[in-house]
Amino acid sequence: TNKAATSSATSTTQSALAAPRTDAVTPAPVPPPATTGVLPTREVSLTIDDRGDLGEIVVDSTGHALYAFSADQPDEPTCYDACADTWLPLLASGAPAGTIGIDVASVHSVPRSDGGNQVTYKGTPLYRYAGDTGDRVANGQGLDMFGGEWHVLRKDGRPLA
């Protein structure tokens, strides 16, 4: 066999894996990142942030990327228990708001069966990912976990698939 060709193919594959996940679904990390609790209920405001290769996406007021779960139905979150330890529901203490670039009339909250009101945008329940290590990362983009795919929301409110 040609070791150089094999090595080249391997490095090409590794480079492709390091690229931003916008097209292909990515397997879940093992073990999945988790927290010991849910995000605190607080005042929530949505905004738009330009994330370069991901484009303009919906983030919370702290700059954290927000995600949609493909298994959710409009205004019906389905991520609970272990799922909600990894994908933290965005909970609001009052009426959520939006800033420039957000369709304010499309920002709402819906009750969760485990308590609290989860923020939605254009009917999509919103989550933060426990594996995002800061306010400028979107490590959860394209992951396949807990029976569905996870994607950041584009400026128009649709998941970036």
pLDDT digits (tens, 9 = 90+) for 115-158: 899 999 999 999 999 999 888 899 999 999 999 999 999 999 99
CA of 33: how far to CAs of 13, 23, 85, 133, 145, in Å?
25, 22, 8, 10, 11
pLDDT of 18 above 60: no
Distance CA 115, CA 117 (A): 7
Place of tokens 């492709």: 16
* Total residues found in the chain within this entry: 161
Distance CA 27, CA 106 (A): 31
pLDDT in tens, 146-158: 999 999 999 999 9
Tokens of 62: 């702290």
How big is the CA angle at 94 (ends 91 and 98), to the nearest 5 degrees? Answer: 80
